[in-house]
Structure 1
Amino acid sequence: MTTPDAPALPLRPELADEVPYGAPQLDVPVLLNVNENPYAPSPDVVATIAERVATAAGTLNRYPDRDFPALRADLADYLSVESGVRLAAEQIWAANGSNEVMLHLLQAFGGPGRTAVSFAPTYSMYPEYARDTHTRWVTGRRAQDFTVDPESAVALIEAERPSVILLASPNNPTGTALPQATIRAVLDAVARVPAVVVVDEAYAEFRRAGTPSALELLDRYPLLAVTRTMSKAFAAAGLRLGYLAASTALVDALRVVRLPYHLSAVTQATARAALEHRDSLLAQVADLRAERDGLVAWLQRQHVSGRPFQVAETDANFVLFGTFPDRHAVWRGLLERGVLIRETGPDGWLRVSVGTPEETRAFKDALLDVIDQEEQ
């Protein structure tokens, strides 16, 4: 008995050759590929989360609060401590990861006939947000050191007249933080366009001393939005809680496009429980910064093919390094030795997340062994 061919799916033509986003998820001893915090929540954090979730579970027959004011107030309080910027709860928005926050922004301010701009290399999901919202996508180029030239950025904005500009600081995959002067130059330019400027600060808690947050500019620039996440500094990648700080008017625009009840009662309870332990959770960030700086210094002393490594300056919890004639061979060699890092960024470069001291040692040993074998 023959089965008739299934009819072709009426897929949007621009999606026909696309593949789902995702880094490899492999079961190896040392996972340093997706910029996770390597330290699991402590028993007291877990206990608080379990207590709050148990309370929320007793109300699961009811929908959660659509606008989650208590969580927004907690996040505003956290930012006042972390960055010294006081915001009202109404200036905060949250969603299932900063990915959904970004999608809300493109749904509200992008769309057919509109353009979004960023500067490559940068986070590989940005063009997907644009694609999914039928927003035209344009990229300028970063300089050799992965910085953004303010004059070139302003020229691109004036030529393309975008409605959304995405600036990652620190940038993924390079780790580069943007000087406030560069962000101000872009913000001054969009006042004439106009456009929403999104500064993606997913890794902001890892920035080096003296590197300011774009949150400090919010009171002067109503078209600015600053996004954050609890995935990295709060060791809560599995929670999926991202958030944004902006003017009340901008936040209200996002409320129009969000799905009803998009943050579950369990997510809200877990996030608020984690925020109660912010002091202990953020204490680990200082350790990870120190581990990162030591890793950068070590990589700068290494050589490949007789040349010292190139190592990008980083204010994040990862390091971009290279360059390799065949980076895939190096990536594969590390994987064979039980260490998974990320094959991303410009040709020849690799990115490694900052792990525990034990994980860093395993990475160093594996990398030296791979290079030695490659050069024999």
Structure 2
Amino acid sequence: MTTLGDLPVRDELRGRSPYGAPQLDVPVRLNTNENSHPLPDEVVEAIATAVRAELAGLNRYPDRDAVALRADLAAYLGHGLSVANVWAANGSNEVQQQLLQAFAGPGRTALGFVPAYSMHPLLALGVGTTWLPGVRGDDFDLTPGHAAAQVRERRPDVVFVCSPNNPTGTALRPDTLTAILDAAPGMVVVDEAYAEFARPGTSSALALLPGRPRLVVTRTMSKAFGFAGGRLGYLAADPAVVDAVQLVRLPYHLSALTQAAARAALAHRDALLAGVDSIKAERDRIVVALRERGHMVADSDANFVLFHVAPGRHAVGRAAPAADDAGHVVSPADAAALTASATDAGDQAAVWRALLDRGVLVRDVGLPGWLRVTAGTAAETDAFLTAIEELP
């Protein structure tokens, strides 16, 4: 039987595994940062009506440039943006892939500050771009001086930053982004997939777009809009960036059905976004409850929480830290010490399995001693916290 190793795949792809989180049939799925709230009936009916109207014309190609959808997205974002500033594709991953195809590729480099979204280096690999892992500070923080120094030293063609960051949940400091923009010789892509969940006062990179043609902000409808199955991501940038991306996009990449469904969802955004506040409340409830149990927990501006699996193991003799305005969390050095001493709770893989045995699926993001849990419904939060309480 032929195996992947028998085929002439690119050398840099050998030994790799496809990206993906477990898709298991369990009562409580809190591992992929999906919106646990189903679409309201009125939105379901609106989307069904919009899609039905397209069916008779499926013998024709869709609007190649998705102009009406882009206009709707620009209206949603505000900030003086127009259709010329916005581009849409099948999820923000495809948007970011197109950006790499346009501005990176063989012989070029992309940099990201880890831990961060694990798809960014895989997207770079897919288009033959050399990935440069940047380093965060002792508190997983990214200060202006530290970030800018790494960018100046390594001079990447593309810089990726997440705000809020995945998996820590922390938002990027505005002065850090400005420092990165000033230091970067190429494009700076700010991944704002979780922007709608940010705490009050958290700024968006959208405000920095005027006069910065090398800044790109990517968003998604998967999270706050509960449209993960619809696959719709988009970017906001200078019109020249949109022109560049269109050089590499596949023809008719966004189906007529996707465009219609997304426009119907955007037309009912008030109903869809009404659940964001309840998700934020569940997120904050998880943070408080885990800290009361003695876990080290990162403050979060997203719809998930990163927590250390071992409660009450504070190697430096301090309680779970209160975050400053940057949302600092425990340092990697402290995390390593905590992990080493977590003999009762076990490592994150053992805790992940123990939670799964109790019907709760969370995410092992590969940080020793840490797990990430999505904030879902009140009932799902109850189930997660109950399962946590049952652990040693």
The answer to whether the Cα contact below 8 Å between 1:96 and 1:241 also exists between their aligned partners in 2 is yes
Could you tell me how far 1:163 is from its partner in structure 2? 0.7
CA distance, structure 2, for counterparts of residue 365 and residue 140 of structure 1: 37
Whether 1:331 and 2:352 are equivalent positions in the alignment is yes
Cα distance change of structure 1 residues 335 and 323 upon mapping to structure 2, 3 Å threshold: closer
The answer to whether the Cα contact below 8 Å between 2:5 and 2:14 also exists between their aligned partners in 1 is no
CA distance, structure 1, for counterparts of residue 215 and residue 6 of structure 2: 43
Partner residue of 2:301 out of 299, 308, 315: 315
Bigger CA drift: 11-20 or 241-250? Answer: 11-20
Whether 1:135 and 2:129 are equivalent positions in the alignment is yes
Instruction: Give the match for residue 331 of structure 2.
Output: none
Cα distance change of structure 1 residues 6 and 291 upon mapping to structure 2, 3 Å threshold: closer
Could you tell me how far 1:6 is from its partner in structure 2? 11
The answer to whether the Cα contact below 8 Å between 2:116 and 2:167 also exists between their aligned partners in 1 is yes
The answer to whether the Cα contact below 8 Å between 2:196 and 2:276 also exists between their aligned partners in 1 is yes
Instruction: Give the match for residue 114 of structure 1.
Output: 108
Cα distance change of structure 1 residues 297 and 14 upon mapping to structure 2, 3 Å threshold: same
Whether 1:168 and 2:162 are equivalent positions in the alignment is yes
Could you tell me how far 1:323 is from its partner in structure 2? 4.0
Matched to 1:240, the amino acid is R
Matched to 1:352, the amino acid is V
Cα distance change of structure 1 residues 320 and 6 upon mapping to structure 2, 3 Å threshold: closer
CA distance, structure 2, for counterparts of residue 252 and residue 310 of structure 1: 45
CA distance, structure 2, for counterparts of residue 79 and residue 299 of structure 1: 34
Instruction: Give the match for residue 325 of structure 2.
Output: none
Instruction: Give the match for residue 258 of structure 1.
Output: 249
The answer to whether the Cα contact below 8 Å between 1:148 and 1:182 also exists between their aligned partners in 2 is yes
Identical aligned residues as a percent: 57
Cα distance change of structure 1 residues 11 and 215 upon mapping to structure 2, 3 Å threshold: same
Matched to 2:93, the amino acid is N
Q: Secondary structure at the match of 2:389?
A: helix
Partner residue of 1:177 out of 171, 174, 180: 171
Bigger CA drift: 321-330 or 60-69? Answer: 321-330
Q: Secondary structure at the match of 1:10?
A: coil
The answer to whether the Cα contact below 8 Å between 1:202 and 1:232 also exists between their aligned partners in 2 is yes
Q: Secondary structure at the match of 2:62?
A: coil
Could you tell me how far 1:145 is from its partner in structure 2? 2.3
> Which segments of 5 or more consecutive residues in structure 1 lack a partner in the other structure?
303-307
Residue by residue over 1:33-83, the C-alpha shift from the partner in whole angstroms, topping out at 9 and shown as x without a partner, is 000000010111000000000011111000001101100000000111xxx
Q: Give the RMSD, CA atoms, in angstroms.
A: 1.5
Could you tell me how far 1:345 is from its partner in structure 2? 4.4
CA distance, structure 2, for counterparts of residue 329 and residue 252 of structure 1: 49
Instruction: Give the match for residue 222 of structure 2.
Output: 231
CA distance, structure 2, for counterparts of residue 5 and residue 90 of structure 1: 46
Residue by residue over 1:295-340, the C-alpha shift from the partner in whole angstroms, topping out at 9 and shown as x without a partner, is 11111111xxxxx211011100000000443111111010001000
Cα distance change of structure 1 residues 6 and 299 upon mapping to structure 2, 3 Å threshold: closer
The answer to whether the Cα contact below 8 Å between 1:334 and 1:340 also exists between their aligned partners in 2 is yes
Instruction: Give the match for residue 199 of structure 1.
Output: 190
> Which segments of 5 or more consecutive residues in structure 2 lack a partner in the other structure?
311-341
Q: Secondary structure at the match of 2:134?
A: strand
The answer to whether the Cα contact below 8 Å between 1:173 and 1:345 also exists between their aligned partners in 2 is no
Give the TM-score of the pair, scaled to structure 1: 0.93
Residue by residue over 1:104-142, the C-alpha shift from the partner in whole angstroms, topping out at 9 and shown as x without a partner, is 011001111111011000011111011111111111111
Instruction: Give the match for residue 145 of structure 1.
Output: 139
Could you tell me how far 1:189 is from its partner in structure 2? 1.2
In the TM superposition, structure 1's runs of 4+ consecutive aligned residues that sit over 6 Å from their partners are 3-7
Cα distance change of structure 1 residues 117 and 6 upon mapping to structure 2, 3 Å threshold: closer
Partner residue of 1:354 out of 375, 384, 387: 375
Matched to 2:81, the amino acid is L
Instruction: Give the match for residue 199 of structure 2.
Output: 208
CA distance, structure 2, for counterparts of residue 366 and residue 139 of structure 1: 35
Instruction: Give the match for residue 153 of structure 2.
Output: 159
Partner residue of 1:343 out of 360, 364, 368: 364
Could you tell me how far 1:4 is from its partner in structure 2? 10
Give the TM-score of the pair, scaled to structure 2: 0.89
CA distance, structure 1, for counterparts of residue 32 and residue 23 of structure 2: 9
Could you tell me how far 1:352 is from its partner in structure 2? 0.2
CA distance, structure 1, for counterparts of residue 200 and residue 152 of structure 2: 33
Instruction: Give the match for residue 305 of structure 1.
Output: none
CA distance, structure 1, for counterparts of residue 366 and residue 222 of structure 2: 21
